């Protein structure tokens, strides 16, 4: 006799339930997805004891009639697909018709639902897989589903649940993703007696993100753009916030929270030198794409997608984020943390008196930042400046030097603190790009050619890529046993060209970057800028200081050095008021 028997449905459903419903977080995920699929604009979530005793999800979506309310609990009961062909274009979040059956098999479930125009509602109760007859109920908008005592009748599964706090944390992670992926939906979240979040539909997305990430909304930059078949909306962070190491990368594609390395790369690339190479910017982005151009079902948990045309997505995200970054002032304004977090939270009458001093205008540099950053370049600086903030004949305010490293001055009613090395690096880096683009190639011939001694790898590098050096204004003669330097680029003001050249070559020689790419140019220019720039500790003449400040503040990409460190910090009257405890309480 054969050994194979088909499992009875009630056994099969329990096994399937284990796959769909692992823990409270997975129940919450399925139920919120159902509410979203039912086009709810408001979802209220109540969780007790990490979801172990109660998960209640109330929505104002389409609801169900009595017949459907019962069928919803059948395995493979779904209104979302009817045939295999439908699979190709499902855009709803769930469609296997497993979730409610699985949840019904695992808990004490009560569903109250009213179809939009119906006079009467329905109540269905399912007790650990046993569906009780549906009953009439007073009509309430949408659907409310209560899941109590999850796994109570399934001790084996219950044993796998972690502490209430851990289950709550996992649930919260799911909810946060859903709240970010659906800015158009209002949410309230309660845990035990605590009201955790309240978000209204269509509130400012930056405010929602700021509340979820616990950051200042002013540090978030809105991203919004649209082309045929493709739209993006969300926020990215100011570079100064990325330095706090709060790496949060959120992406949703057509309402599905997903992770995507390419989008991550694209958003990172848009920052170019605004960030140190290893840092990822935080972002919360919602991408809407024609369903035919993406496959959301490649991953069983649906947390990865496959784009039909990844290049196009890369470019679109890159351009959208670049545009967002160039539309705002990115000057670092961080007030030292030790000074802002004060124990003096009460307001003295004196500070209250000075309230009228409240100045509305935060720092805005008069520089008009070119709205078009290079679309396909990762590192090239923007070039055109419509208005120079410091006209040639405008005197720069007096400049003080602190610790042989920081230049302190005022500009535009702001205190500006400049790191002389980082600033000079940024200026030189910019000038090298300019030469690369065919502008201002001025060379300085050396009175006597300098013989340069190089190691073999350095010499090999110079032989292979001497044209890059020559293009910048280096005159180099290579012969069998000597290397002679005959001229150098004027912008670099080199005092010791030999040391400079060896330092640059020795830094570059270990690089794995593909020659002649943008990244390669970035490396060369950043390395040269670093080696040629004034160092911390160097004496800087009055005239040089003036030029440094003037040139830096005129650059579109002035905010950081080419390695992503801040080049200057701006403290406006608003920050001053905070520092001196005049406002901000």
Q: Which of residues 115-144 bind ligand ADP (CB under 6 A)?
A: 143
172 part of the interface to ligand ADP, by CB under 6 A: no
Q: Which of residues 291-320 bind ligand ADP (CB under 6 A)?
A: none
- Three-state SS annotation for 330-353: CCECCCCHHHHCCCCCCCCHHHHH
Q: How far is the CB of 256 from ligand ADP (least distance, A)?
A: 14
Pairwise CA distance, residues 538 & 552, whole Å: 18
Structure-block tokens of residue 578: 């905070």
Nearest to ligand ADP of 33, 458 (CB atom): 33
Cα dihedral sign, 419-425-428-432: negative
**What residues make contact with Mg ion under the rule CB under 5 A?**
34, 94, 99
Q: Which of residues 5-34 bind ligand ADP (CB under 6 A)?
A: 30, 34
Q: How far is the CB of 356 from Mg ion (least distance, A)?
A: 56
Q: Report what 35 binds from ligand ADP, Mg ion, none; CB cut-off 5-8 Å by kind.
A: ligand ADP
Q: Which of 16, 65, 95, 396 lies at the binding interface for ligand ADP (CB under 6 A)?
A: 95
Q: How far is the CB of 36 from Mg ion (least distance, A)?
A: 9
Name the DSSP letter for residue 446: E
Q: Which of residues 34-93 bind ligand ADP (CB under 6 A)?
A: 34-35, 38, 59, 61-64, 72, 77-80
Q: How far is the CB of 108 from Mg ion (least distance, A)?
A: 19
Q: How far is the CB of 305 from ligand ADP (least distance, A)?
A: 19
Nearest to ligand ADP of 138, 156 (CB atom): 138
Q: Report what 436 binds from ligand ADP, Mg ion, none; CB cut-off 5-8 Å by kind.
A: none
State the number of binding residues for ligand ADP (CB under 6 A): 23
Residue 483 forms beta bridges with which residues?
Answer: 478
97 part of the interface to ligand ADP, by CB under 6 A: yes
Give the number of other Cβ atoms within 10 Å of residue 151's Cβ. Answer: 21
Q: Which of 24, 50, 51, 94 lies at the binding interface for ligand ADP (CB under 6 A)?
A: 94
Report the Cα 551 to chain-centroid distance in Å. Answer: 30
Nearest to ligand ADP of 126, 313 (CB atom): 126
Q: How far is the CB of 228 from ligand ADP (least distance, A)?
A: 30
- Three-state SS annotation for 297-317: CCCCCCCCCEECCHHHHHHHH
Give which of 370, 44, 24, 271 is closest to 163, Cα–Cα.
Answer: 24
Phi/psi at 380 (5° precision): -60, 135
Reading phi first (left if > 0) and then psi (alpha if -120 to 50, else beta), residue 255 is in left
Q: How far is the CB of 175 from ligand ADP (least distance, A)?
A: 16
Stretch (H or E) spanning 181: helix 164-181
Q: How far is the CB of 62 from ligand ADP (least distance, A)?
A: 5
Nearest to Mg ion of 94, 272 (CB atom): 94
- Angstrom CA distances, 2 to 6, 9, 163, 358, 380, stand at 12, 20, 45, 86, 71
Pairwise CA distance, residues 67 & 113, whole Å: 11
Q: Report what 61 binds from ligand ADP, Mg ion, none; CB cut-off 5-8 Å by kind.
A: ligand ADP
Q: Which residue is nearest to Mg ion (CB)?
A: 94
Checking 85-90 for CB contacts under 8 A at 24+ apart, the result is 87/297, 89/291, 89/292, 90/297
150 and 107 in contact (C-beta within 8 Å)?
yes
Q: Which of 17, 43, 100, 555 lies at the binding interface for ligand ADP (CB under 6 A)?
A: 100
Residues near ligand ADP (CB under 6 A): 30, 34-35, 38, 59, 61-64, 72, 77-80, 94-101, 143
């Amino acid at each position: 006799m054969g050994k194979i028997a088909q499992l009875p449905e009630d056994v099969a459903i329990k096994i399937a339930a284990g796959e769909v419903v692992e823990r409270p977080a997975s129940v919450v995920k399925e139920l919120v997805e159902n509410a979203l699929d039912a086009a709810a604009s408001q979802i209220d979530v109540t969780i007790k004891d990490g979801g172990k005793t109660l998960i209640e999800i109330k929505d104002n979506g389409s609801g169900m009639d009595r017949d459907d309310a019962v069928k919803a609990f059948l395995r493979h009961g779904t209104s979302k697909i009817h045939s295999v062909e439908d699979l190709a274009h499902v855009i709803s979040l769930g469609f296997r018709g497993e979730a409610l059956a699985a949840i019904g098999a695992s808990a004490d479930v009560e569903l109250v639902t009213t179809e939009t125009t119906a006079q009467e509602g329905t109540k269905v109760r399912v007790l650990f897989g046993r569906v009780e007859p549906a009953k009439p109920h007073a009509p309430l908008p949408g659907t409310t589903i209560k899941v109590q005592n999850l796994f109570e009748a399934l001790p084996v599964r219950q044993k796998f649940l972690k502490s209430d706090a851990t289950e709550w944390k996992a649930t919260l992670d799911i909810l946060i993703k859903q709240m970010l992926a659906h800015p158009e939906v209002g949410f309230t979240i309660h845990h035990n007696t605590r009201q955790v979040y309240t978000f209204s539909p269509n509130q400012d997305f930056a405010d929602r993100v700021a509340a979820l990430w616990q950051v200042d909304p002013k540090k978030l930059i809105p991203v919004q753009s649209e082309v045929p078949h493709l739209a993006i909306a969300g926020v990215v962070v100011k570079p100064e916030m990325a330095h706090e190491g709060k790496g949060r990368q959120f992406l949703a594609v057509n309402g599905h929270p997903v992770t995507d390395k390419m989008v991550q790369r694209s958003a990172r690339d848009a920052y170019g030198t605004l960030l140190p190479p290893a840092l990822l910017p935080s972002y919360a982005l919602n991408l809407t794409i024609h369903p035919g151009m993406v496959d959301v079902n490649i991953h069983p948990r649906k947390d990865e997608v496959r784009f039909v045309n990844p290049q196009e997505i890369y470019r679109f995200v890159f351009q959208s984020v670049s545009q967002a970054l160039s539309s705002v002032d990115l000057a670092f304004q961080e007030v030292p943390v030790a000074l802002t977090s004060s124990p003096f939270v009460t307001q003295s009458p004196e500070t209250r008196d000075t309230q009228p001093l409240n100045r509305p205008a935060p720092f805005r540099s008069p520089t008009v930042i070119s709205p078009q950053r290079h679309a396909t370049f990762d590192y090239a600086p923007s070039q055109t400046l419509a208005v120079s903030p410091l006209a040639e004949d405008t005197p720069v305010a007096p400049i003080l030097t602190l610790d042989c490293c920081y230049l302190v001055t005022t500009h535009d009613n702001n205190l500006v603190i400049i790191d002389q090395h980082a600033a000079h690096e940024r200026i030189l880096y910019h000038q090298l790009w300019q030469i690369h683009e065919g502008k201002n190639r001025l060379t300085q011939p050396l009175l006597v050619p300098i013989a340069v001694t190089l190691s073999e790898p350095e010499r090999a590098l110079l032989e292979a890529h001497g044209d890059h050096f020559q293009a910048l204004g280096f005159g180099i003669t290579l012969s069998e046993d000597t290397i002679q330097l005959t001229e150098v680029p004027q912008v670099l003001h080199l005092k010791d060209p030999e040391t400079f050249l060896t330092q640059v070559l020795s830094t570059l020689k270990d690089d794995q970057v593909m020659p002649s790419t943008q990244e390669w140019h970035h490396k060369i220019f950043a390395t040269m800028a670093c080696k040629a720039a004034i160092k911390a500790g160097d004496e800087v003449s009055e005239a040089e200081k003036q030029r440094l400040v003037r040139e830096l503040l005129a650059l579109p990409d002035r905010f950081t050095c080419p390695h992503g460190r801040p080049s200057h910090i701006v403290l406006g009257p608003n920050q001053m008021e905070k520092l001196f405890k005049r406002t901000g309480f």
